[in-house]
Amino acid sequence: MKKGVDWSLYSRFNTPDGSYTLLLPSKAESYHSVYGARTESLYVFIQNGLQTVNKRQVVVCETGFGTGLNALLTLEFAQLNGLILHYHACELFPIPAEMLPPPKFLNKNVFLSNAWLNIQNCSWNRTHNITSFFTLAKMEQSIAEFCPIKKADVWFHDAFSPKTQPEMWSAELFSHIGNHLAEGGCLVTYSAAGQVKRALREAGFTIERLPGPPRKKHMLRAFRRN
Ligand SMILES: C[S@@+](CC[C@H](N)C(=O)[O-])C[C@H]1O[C@@H](n2cnc3c(N)ncnc32)[C@H](O)[C@@H]1O
């Protein structure tokens, strides 16, 4: 148990697309959409984030590594599209690997199942070659201190909701993220709440509001104004 987190109070919840998410002790918040964790991650972060980057070598940064689902889906996308991918994520409360078995949708895919296990079991705070085309650095630290060694082409901002953790959606924090974006890089996030849009604008971002994943009206993609 770390930093006062009692993981026995967290429960796994199977979502309809063969993936799972974790429910927080209150059950009022989860790590992903309970209507489809994989579906939501693919839509918000892969389709509307990673897929828009027009490069063969891509740096992805993430706020909130969590279960590693976004990392795995990024690895899968890199494999399918012949990319070299550098993935840097921060996480203040690492989930014990034994709570994170491979999700069902990986059942018939030995390569991705092994990649999942490597992503979970590799050590924190150093860089690993998970495959020949995917490096991973998962840093056990707060986003406020997180300074990735390479600037991000796309930043997955996957914090708990603004209601649960408002401090993760402040102009100050977005400004910090903006300082670590490569030229032309973007931030994508599932929340399109008013306070998020205001904070992003205050931090110097231009916002695109996009249709949301299933059961959500909108999501955001944001670019830093120069
Ligand atoms: C919505 S979940 C992320 C889900 C994750 N991206 C995935 O694919 O499973 C939010 C994550 O942010 C983490 N978190 C909370 N406060 C943080 C902070 N100050 N810095 C970095 N991560 C934080 C939480 O522990 C949690 O893992």
pLDDT in tens, 78-92: 999 999 999 999 999
Distance, C-alpha 62 to centroid of its chain: 5
For ligand 1, atom 20: residue with the closest CA: 142
Q: Which of 121, 31, 49 is closest to 85 using CA atoms?
A: 49
Rounded to whole angstroms, the Cα distance separating 68 from 168 reads: 19
**With a 6 A CB cut-off, is 143 part of the ligand 1 pocket?**
yes
Main-chain dihedrals φ then ψ at residue 218, nearest 5 degrees = -140, 165
- Which of 39, 65, 138 gets mutated to test ligand 1 (max ligand atoms within 8 A of its CB)? 65
Q: Which residues of the chain have pLDDT under 50?
A: 1-2
Instruction: Extract the tokens encoding 22.
Output: 């974790």
What's the CA-to-centroid distance between 12 and ligand 1, angstroms?
A: 16
7 lines ligand 1 (CB under 6 A): no
141 neighbors 90 (Cβ within 8 angstroms):
yes
- Whole-model pTM: value is 0.97
From the CB of 69, is ligand 1 less than 6 Å away? yes
pLDDT per position as a tens digit, 165-207: 999 999 999 999 999 999 999 999 999 999 999 999 999 999 9
Which of the 8 DSSP states describes residue 105?
G
Do residues 213 and 44 touch, judged by C-beta distance below 8 A? yes
Domain spans of the chain, in order of start:
36-224
CATH placement of domain 36-224 = 3.40.50.150
Whether ligand 1 lies within 6 angstroms of the CB of 139 is answered as no
